[in-house]
Amino acid sequence: MKNDEWLTPPHVLQALGAFNLDPCAPVNRPWEMTEQHYTAHDNGLQKPWHGRVWLNPPYGLEAAQWLSRLAAHGAGTALIFARTETEMFFENVWSKASALLFLKGRLHFHHVDGTRAAANGGAPSVLIAYGEMDAEILKTCKLPGAFVPLIAHRARDCQRPECMSRGCFGHCMKVKT
């Protein structure tokens, strides 16, 4: 995909309910995704965030900044490719998220005119919940996929030297029962 603005499929947004803010919304949108939008013209990373945030960040190296900001905000859901081995995933998802929903199949994103892309996104996608409310929404939203609840354990809460130096994962990451 050689475009920076790809819209989330409407059925995904409908399944997740209402959001208060989209801090990295496309400039042109055929439908409103949230109550309030920041676009590239607004620099949503620098603006105040409030309420439940929807985040479909620009895919690429800068996605980590957006996920880090959402993790710090603590209330919202992100949609990214399921690249679970990346440093971005380890830094901003495994150690900070409340739950994951690995979506079945590959999504067909939409162009800014609202039309569905002919080809799928090229990789599997995952929804990432930050905060218990968003975790519960992922659990009950009925989108097909695999739900994985997490208890995020931040390195600052762990006293093990290996966690303090590189972030907590593994022995401190637990799956809820």
Contact 25, 49 (CB under 8 A): no
* pLDDT score, position 30: 87
Cα separation of 119 and 122, whole Å? 8
Mean pLDDT by 10 residues, the chain (177 residues): 70 95 90 91 95 91 93 96 89 94 88 77 86 96 94 51 49 38
Cα separation of 164 and 99, whole Å? 23
DSSP string computed for 33-87: -SSEE--TTT-TTTS---SSEEE-PPSSTTHHHHHHHHHHH--EEEEEE--TTSH
Cα separation of 85 and 72, whole Å? 21
Contact 95, 155 (CB under 8 A): yes
Cβ neighbours of residue 140 closer than 8 Å, sequence gap 6 or more: none
- How much is the pTM? 0.81
* pLDDT score, position 132: 93
- Pairing status of strand 76-81 against strand 125-130: antiparallel
* pLDDT score, position 98: 95
* pLDDT score, position 62: 87
* pLDDT score, position 1: 42
Token pair belonging to 152: 């995020």
Residue 103: Cβ within 10 Å count: 19
Closest CA relative to residue 68, chosen from 138, 171, 167: 167
* pLDDT score, position 169: 47
